């Protein structure tokens, strides 16, 4: 699966992610802070998991490859 470069989500996380409007999902993925670039970057190769009711996205900075993460708060 890693070779396919495809987002991997847990079942719970996939359900939460699917309920978020696509426009907002793209906004989330294209606005992640990278501590190495010191600016908002696009997240690639991301995976998703639930953490205490919130969706945690983990991936890599599209610019430098540094690990980045973003928490999407549950409603
Ligand atoms: Zn970066």
65-75: pLDDT as tens digits: 999 999 998 76
Distance, CA 53 to ligand 1 centroid (Å)?
Answer: 27
Convert the pLDDT of each residue in 21-54 to its tens digit.
999 999 999 999 999 999 999 999 999 999 999 9
| Pair 47, 12: CB distance under 8 Å | no
CA of 22 to the centre of ligand 1 (A): 24
Ion ligand 1: protein residues whose beta carbon lies under 5 Å: 34, 36-37, 61, 63-64, 66
CB atoms within 10 A of CB 8: 15
Q: Which residue has the higher pLDDT, 3 or 75?
A: 75
Q: Is the pTM of this model over 0.75?
A: yes
CA of 17 to the centre of ligand 1 (A): 24
């Amino acid at each position: 699966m890693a070779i396919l470069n495809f987002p991997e989500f847990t079942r719970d996380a996939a359900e939460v992610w699917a309920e978020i409007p696509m426009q907002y999902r793209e906004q989330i993925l294209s606005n992640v802070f990278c501590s190495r670039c010191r600016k908002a970057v696009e997240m690639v190769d991301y995976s998703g998991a639930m953490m205490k009711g919130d969706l945690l996205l983990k991936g890599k900075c599209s610019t430098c490859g540094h690990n980045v993460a973003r928490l999407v708060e549950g409603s």
